[in-house]
């Protein structure tokens, strides 16, 4: 089965488990927050944990449960008695779509929060096609918190409404790379860097090819105009009056229509520099222009 680039990022993030208790709490709260949907109403019994969430991904379910076990093990209430869990993760607030700010005071916890949010509601385009990473948030309040957290980590996100959701996104390659690093997706980061290098090389090659093609077209057009002027001079008897140097360059241009100025100069006897050849060709064009004006007057 072909896995999308976004899927590769998530698979890598699923394998990361925070070592610190407070980071576990921040990431679990982010999962609760990001998976929250206003149209799914919780109905928790007193003293239990009932979540309005959909954990269809097996890896995400496994990480969710592992984080819950690690956090509950640190509280005397135990995994089946929820008050300690609720307090640790700010669960009531997270289940309404926002993580308590007290869980995001540390930089490591903000990184764990972003990782959890990406797993819950994030996606990323294949960097071979375009640079785009986004979080699809249920509420404007949730989107604003993701945006604030990105800004605290020196990342410039944007938020826009999309149907009934609020999308926080990054479109700059450098910022997406920095976010992948913050979340711990280092393999995906390296793959994106390689993709970016290949894309930059391809773009550079295209620019060079376009530049060379443009120069060749300009050279060909200029050479054709020069040949037309020289033929006009010859057709109106002007060759015999040309100085030897001009006549030599004129004959070389007619016999070598595709030659560059440098090549024409090397064919001269004695050889002439590129600027010297260009000067002589411009002089021939001026002579042709004068002859044409006189013909019109007559």
> What SS3 class is residue 248?
helix
What pLDDT is stored for residue 56 in this prediction?
Answer: 58
Q: Which residue has the tokens 């295209």?
A: 206
Q: Is pLDDT above 60 for 109?
A: yes
CA distance 100 to 22: 13
Percent with pLDDT over 70 in the chain: 84
Least confident of 38-47, 221-230, 274-283: 38-47
* Range 170-175 average pLDDT: 94
Confidence (pLDDT) at 195 = 86
Selected from 3.10.28.10, 3.30.420.10, 3.40.228.10, 3.30.465.10, the CATH number assigned to the domain covering 5-184 reads 3.10.28.10
Average pLDDT over residues 33-55: 56
- With cut-offs at 50, 70 and 90, classify the pLDDT of residue 105: very high
pLDDT at position 92 is: 56
Q: 105: closest CA among 26, 164, 41?
A: 26
- In angstroms, the CA 276 to CA 109 distance is 70
Lowest mean per-residue pLDDT among 20-24, 75-79, 115-119:
75-79
Residue 84 CA, distance from chain mean position: 43
List the single range of 48-62, 80-94, 220-234 with lowest mean pLDDT.
80-94
Q: How far apart are CA 283 and CA 174, in angstroms?
A: 53
User: Can you list the alpha helix ranges (DSSP code H) found in the chain?
Assistant: 5-14, 21-35, 58-73, 83-89, 91-94, 107-121, 140-152, 173-183, 186-235, 244-255, 261-267, 274-297
* Contacts of residue 159, Cβ cutoff 8 Å, sequence gap at least 6: 140, 143, 144, 147, 166, 167, 168, 169
> Greatest CA separation found in the chain?
112
Question: What confidence tier does 7 reach under pLDDT thresholds 50, 70, 90?
Answer: very high
Q: What is the pTM of this model?
A: 0.67
DSSP H or E segment with residue 20: none
The highest-confidence range among 90-99, 111-120, 225-234, by mean pLDDT, is 111-120
Tens digit of pLDDT for each residue in 176-226? 999 999 999 999 999 999 988 888 888 888 899 898 888 888 888 888 998
**Contact in structure between 270 and 276 (CB atoms under 8 Å):** no
Over residues 131-135, mean pLDDT: 96
Q: What is the pLDDT of residues 158-168, one digit of tens each?
A: 999 998 999 99
What's the Cα-to-Cα distance from 209 to each of 134, 180, 205, 214, 222, rounded to whole Å?
Answer: 35, 34, 6, 8, 20
Q: How far apart are CA 63 and CA 59, in angstroms?
A: 6
C-alpha distances in angstroms, 134 versus 55, 111, 114, 117, 124? 20, 16, 11, 10, 6
Residue 75 has pLDDT above 70, yes or no: no
What is the per-residue pLDDT for 119?
A: 95
| Average pLDDT of the chain, as a whole number | 84
Burial string for 189-219 (b: 16+ CB within 10 Å, else e) reads bebbeebbeeeeeeeeeeeeeeeeeeeeeee
Q: Give the residue-averaged pLDDT of 138-150.
A: 94
Residue 97: predicted pLDDT: 67
What is the predicted pLDDT for the residue at 54?
52
pLDDT at residue 81 tops 60: no
Structural domain boundaries of the chain?
5-184, 211-297
């Amino acid at each position: 089965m072909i896995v999308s680039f976004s899927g590769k990022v998530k698979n890598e993030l699923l394998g990361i488990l925070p070592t610190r208790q407070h980071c576990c709490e921040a990431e679990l709260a982010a999962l609760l927050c990001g998976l929250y949907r206003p149209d799914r109403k919780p109905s928790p019994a007193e003293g239990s944990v009932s979540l309005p969430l959909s954990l269809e991904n097996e890896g995400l379910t496994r990480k969710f449960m592992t984080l819950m076990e690690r956090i509950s093990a640190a509280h005397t209430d135990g995994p089946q008695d929820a008050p300690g869990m609720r307090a640790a993760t700010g669960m009531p607030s997270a289940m309404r779509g926002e993580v308590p700010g007290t869980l995001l005071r540390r930089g490591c916890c903000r990184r764990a929060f972003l990782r959890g949010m990406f797993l819950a509601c994030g996606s990323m385009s294949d960097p071979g096609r375009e640079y785009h990473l986004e979080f699809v948030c249920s509420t404007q309040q949730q989107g604003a918190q993701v945006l604030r957290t990105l800004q605290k980590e020196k990342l410039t996100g944007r938020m826009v409404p999309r149907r009934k959701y609020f999308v926080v996104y990054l479109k700059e390659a450098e910022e997406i790379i920095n976010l992948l690093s913050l979340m711990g997706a280092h393999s995906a980061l390296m793959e994106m860097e390689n993709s970016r290098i290949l894309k930059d090389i391809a773009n550079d090659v295209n620019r060079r090819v376009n530049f060379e093609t443009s120069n060749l077209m300009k050279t060909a057009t200029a050479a054709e105009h020069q040949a037309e002027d020289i033929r006009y001079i010859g057709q109106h008897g002007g060759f015999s009056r040309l100085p030897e140097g001009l006549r030599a360059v004129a004959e070389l241009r007619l016999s070598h229509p595709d030659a560059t100025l440098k090549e024409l100069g090397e064919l001269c006897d004695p050889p002439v520099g590129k600027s010297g050849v260009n000067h002589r060709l411009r002089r021939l064009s001026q002579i042709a222009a004068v002859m044409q004006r006189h013909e019109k007057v007559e």
